[in-house]
């Protein structure tokens, strides 16, 4: 069961945007994007992936793009994140700009405290991959973002971009009654929460193109792979303003350092520019800095790059 102190923020958020929250969880909201906004986001995502493929001297049309990218891209992590590198940072900054413009257009800045940076483009394989899916924090396992160390006042936004949403989707679940008391903490592995599989109830939410899904950090979810195709989702997080449940005063982790002031976040890709330390050339040679996830991967340059 979700602490009812979390629901007022989602209720106000939904009312502002003329949408509704999921009644089963009370902390998930589906928001429709304007058609032009969605097309712009999709186009920016595709330009970024094409630029990544350019680093391999490879191109692909839309029908084969995701399969080829999942197989070839050296900047793809085991959890599917397409990490920005120096050679593709211009396209990534442009993608961030388009995401920021969309969030700003919603008119909910007074409900948002800080935003996660950098944003995430996640490309998930449709078929099971034992090596990737057995990792401690594999997204195919039931989990809440707080288990990975995200602040308990954060909200995760999923925007499906391309691919097989029906067979390679995301399922959300209503947590059991003891969730806030016993499970609102980071875990060393999502396997620690396996006992909840028999206690949760699936929420009837089917991801759709042209919509964004705002989910509280306590919302249980997992990636589903049912012998489908690849799937591409744009993700980012922010920390919400307003009254917060009491535990949030003490439950925070070093992941909080990934969140920056919303105004500065809005400037990225416009008057400021993210410059990434790691290169794609190093990724192709499997040379990685192995920085912890919580460490900053970029510096902010005040003047926009050409």
The pLDDT tens digits of the residues spanning 290-306 come to: 554 445 588 999 876 65
Q: Does residue 148 contact residue 137 with C-beta atoms inside 8 Å? A: yes
Q: Which residue did the predictor score with more confidence, 103 or 251?
A: 103
The pLDDT tens digits of the residues spanning 143-195 come to: 999 999 898 889 999 999 999 999 999 999 988 887 877 888 899 999 999 99
* Rounded-to-integer distance, Cα 63 and Cα 54, Å: 17
* Rounded-to-integer distance, Cα 154 and Cα 172, Å: 17
Across 62-82, b (16+ Cβ under 10 Å) vs e yields eeebbbbbbeebbbbbebbbb
Question: What is the percentage of the chain residues whose pLDDT exceeds 90?
Answer: 61
Highest mean pLDDT among 113-117, 151-155, 247-251: 113-117
Task: Name the band, by pLDDT with cuts 50, 70 and 90, for residue 58.
Answer: confident
- Sheet containing 170-174: give its strands across: 201-203, 170-174, 220-223
Specify the pTM: 0.92
pLDDT at 256 (0 to 100):
75
Mean pLDDT of 263-284: 93
Q: Which domains are delineated in the chain?
A: 4-301 (2.60.120)
Task: Name the band, by pLDDT with cuts 50, 70 and 90, for residue 276.
Answer: very high
* Rounded-to-integer distance, Cα 158 and Cα 234, Å: 6
* Rounded-to-integer distance, Cα 95 and Cα 4, Å: 35
């Amino acid at each position: 069961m979700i602490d009812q102190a979390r629901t007022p923020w989602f209720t106000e958020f939904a009312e502002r945007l003329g949408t509704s929250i999921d009644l089963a969880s009370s902390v998930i909201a589906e928001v429709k994007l304007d058609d032009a906004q969605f097309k712009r986001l999709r186009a920016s995502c595709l330009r970024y992936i094409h630029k990544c493929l350019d680093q391999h001297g490879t191109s692909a049309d839309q029908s084969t793009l995701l399969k080829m990218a999942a197989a070839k891209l050296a900047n793809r992590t085991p959890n599917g994140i397409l990490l920005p590198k120096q050679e593709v940072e211009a396209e990534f900054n442009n993608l961030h700009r388009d995401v920021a413009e969309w969030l700003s257009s919603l008119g909910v800045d007074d409900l948002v405290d800080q935003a996660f940076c950098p944003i995430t483009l996640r490309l998930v394989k449709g078929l099971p991959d034992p090596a990737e899916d057995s990792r401690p924090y594999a997204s195919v396992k039931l989990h809440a973002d707080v288990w990975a160390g995200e602040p308990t006042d954060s909200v995760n936004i999923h925007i499906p971009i391309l691919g097989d949403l029906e067979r390679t989707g995301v399922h959300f679940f209503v947590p059991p009654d003891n969730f806030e008391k016993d499970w609102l903490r980071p875990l060393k592995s999502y396997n620690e929460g396996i006992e909840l599989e028999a206690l949760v109830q699936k929420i009837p939410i089917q991801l759709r193109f042209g919509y964004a899904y705002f989910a509280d950090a306590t919302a249980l979810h997992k990636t589903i792979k049912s012998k489908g195709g690849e799937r591409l989702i744009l993700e980012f997080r922010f920390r919400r303003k307003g009254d917060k449940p009491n535990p949030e005063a003490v439950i925070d982790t070093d992941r909080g350092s990934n969140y920056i002031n919303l105004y500065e976040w809005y400037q990225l890709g416009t008057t400021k520019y993210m410059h990434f330390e790691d290169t794609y050339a190093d990724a192709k040679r499997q040379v990685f800095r192995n920085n912890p996830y919580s460490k900053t991967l970029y510096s902010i340059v005040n003047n926009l790059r050409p």
